[in-house]
A and B are shown apart, each in its own frame.
Chain A
Amino acid sequence: MSIIKGKAYTFGDNINTDVIYPGKYLSITTDRMEMARHCFEAVYPEFMEQARSGDVIVAGRNFGCGSSREQAATCLKYFGISAVVAESFARIFYRNAINLGLPVIVAPGVARMVHHGDDVEVDLEGGSVRNTRTNETIEATKLPDFILKIIDDGGLISHLQRRLGIVKPEEDK
């Protein structure tokens, strides 16, 4: 889990939550697989055809800005995006992604280093991103163990289920 390999699908700066998951679908569905069919639909309709499960999104600054809708992270996760690497993230998207089990990595300089279609390797634990085509590597913010654990467990709810299940006797004291 700690090393993620995938093809880079790139975006620019300030990709907002309306672009990632169009508002018109908010009231239409609560089905996660259905959400996954509308990623970037309004502005980048080609995404649904060209992107593949396992791809790594590489973006510029302030990825996920705008509304607090959790669906923006949900649709990417259930589409199969294996990680999002960006120069920076909007606060609520970042939190939502982790709590849903979608790895998000801050890596200043990544937008310059990675081009669309490059193969990248993201080391969540070590805190680095490597472009395997050019063999360039940059540092990324390391994710601490417990965040990795939340992601590994598939998000906050299942993480807590697991954790509380294990520590229950102690919690009862």
Chain B
Amino acid sequence: MTIAEKILARASGKPLTEPHEIVTAKIDVAMSHENADVVLRAFKEIGVEKVWDPERIVILFDHRIPAESEKTAATHQRIRAFVKEQHIKHFYDLREGICHQVLPENGHSRPGDVMVGTDSHTTTHGAFGTFASGIGATEMAGVWATGELWFMVPESMRIKVTGMFPKYVSAKDLILHIIGKLGAAGADYKAVEFFGETISNMSIASRMVLTNLSMEMGAKVAIVVPDEKTITYVVQRTNHEFTTLLPDPDAEYAQEIHIDVTDLKSMVACPHAVDNVKPVSEVAGKRINQALIGSCTNGRLEDLAVAAEILHAEKVHPEVRLLVIPASRQVYLAAIEKGYIETFIKAGALVLNPGCGPCLGAHQGLMAPGEVCISTTNRNFKGRMGSSESFVYLASPATVAQSAITGEITPAATTG
């Protein structure tokens, strides 16, 4: 069995599962952010009084923090009241950061578990060997009530990655390259498994970039085969038990892909689709108005480190607004200690509070018609970050930092 099949077998109490079989799985972690408000309405409609397990539900605020409107403030208020009333144990108010960073940091993302979240990028947690997938609000209400949910066992595909990245080429370039190759529906329904020497050498943060963006090619879950690095990261953060599951050597895959990153170039996803991928060199010279480093894709310490390296003793182009958003309070603090934040501020960047920022187009840096943004986020759909006549290019932190200096899309210098 593949990892996905094994996890679903464990969670549904079966010795075996096969693709297309439908199983009912016990949920280990159920995550919601501001949309917990919609979930709690459906939950009340069901008419259950108590949630199934207040220790397995995680709720936090990250999408609109601090509240950008009265409406959001009231949403936050309703959820806080619900959290109290239901004794939800793991509640992170607006001070921690983005869900897909805060959950791992606090030991909620564990190998072998089934996690569901009312957020499509819940696939991110697969970086820890977790079966993690996004679900709708009505379904989440059902999970809150019963602690279980049905799944169709997905077919698995696996991606083997070998070779060493050239300087300033990273996990973001790799996954953009893969999405460009497979297309936005290339992994529809599927469980994607990542493995190979490049993945083994990769940091946890970089692995999360892969599993985060796999959603943009339709993956139901994206899983990095867990190793010692994974286990070390998790046990440092939680005493919670977990079962590390690995794929069987004779597991069956619907598709297998091999990518060597030795000659990989810096890549960019051009407007308005994540699979509209080109090497940065092909769009170099395009003038930008805004540059954004942050989000659940690339707002982690290593992302800020490479950006700080490039921005050190440099100045942001006078006509560019560079926004830097650490993914979490912990990342923010570490970046202060390392001096990155000072570098950003000296260069002329605006450092915002940890959270989603303008990624979803709610607040904190929206775009006017005709404007262009280069961003480390994961979606560039029409109107995603403000005006439907603005343009978002997705790239790595190195490319974004370099472009912020020159004022136009520029690959990070590889010499020097």
Question: Which positions in A face B, CB cutoff 8 Å?
Answer: 62, 65, 68, 70, 90-92, 94-96, 98-99, 106, 141, 143-144, 146-147, 156-157, 160-161, 163-164
Contact = CB atoms under 8 A, between A and B. Distances in A.
B139 A95 contact: yes
Given A157-B42, A164-B146, A70 B138 contact: yes
Given A68-B120, A91-B189, A161-B46, A156 B139 contact: yes
B46 A160 contact: yes
B22 interface: yes
A146 B47 contact: no
Contact of A161 (B22, B47, B139, B185): B47
B84 interface: no
Contact of B142 (A92, A94, A160): A160
A160 B145 contact: yes
A143 B20 CA distance: 10
Pairs of residues from A and B, 10 with the lowest C-beta to C-beta distance, nearest first: A144-B22, A160-B46, A91-B189, A156-B142, A157-B46, A160-B145, A99-B138, A160-B142, A157-B45, A161-B46
A36 B129 CA distance: 42
A158 B383 CA distance: 37
If over half of A's interface residues share one DSSP class (helix, strand or loop), that class is named, otherwise mixed; here it is: helix
Contact of A95 (B48, B120, B136): B136
B358 interface: no
B141 interface: yes
If over half of B's interface residues share one DSSP class (helix, strand or loop), that class is named, otherwise mixed; here it is: mixed
B141 A157 contact: yes
B135 interface: yes
Interface string B177-190: 00000000100110
A40 to B, nearest CB: 21
A63 to B, nearest CB: 12
A90 B47 contact: no
A99 B141 CA distance: 11
A52 B270 CA distance: 43
Interface residues of B, number: 24
Interface of B: 20, 22, 24, 42, 45-48, 120, 135-136, 138-139, 141-142, 145-146, 150, 152, 185, 188-189, 218, 220
Contacts of A90: 188
Contacts of B145: 160, 164
B188 A62 contact: yes
Contacts of B139: 95, 99, 156
Given A146-B24, A157-B45, A68 B136 contact: yes
Contacts of A147: 22, 150
17 contacts: A62-B185, A65-B188, A68-B136, A91-B218, A96-B136, A98-B150, A99-B142, A106-B20, A144-B22, A146-B150, A157-B42, A157-B45, A157-B46, A160-B48, A161-B46, A163-B146, A164-B146
A104 to B, nearest CB: 11
A164 B220 CA distance: 29
A1 B281 CA distance: 59
A156 B138 contact: yes
A160 B136 contact: no
Contacts of B45: 157
A145 B20 CA distance: 15
A91 B188 contact: yes
Nearest to B135: A95
Contacts of B22: 143-144, 147
B187 to A, nearest CB: 11
Contacts of B146: 160, 163-164
Contact of A99 (B120, B136, B152): B136
Given A91-B188, A141-B20, A160-B46, 14 more contacts: A91-B220, A95-B135, A95-B139, A99-B139, A144-B22, A147-B150, A156-B138, A156-B142, A157-B141, A160-B48, A160-B145, A161-B47, A163-B146, A164-B145
Contacts of B150: 98, 146-147
A33 to B, nearest CB: 18
Contacts of B141: 157
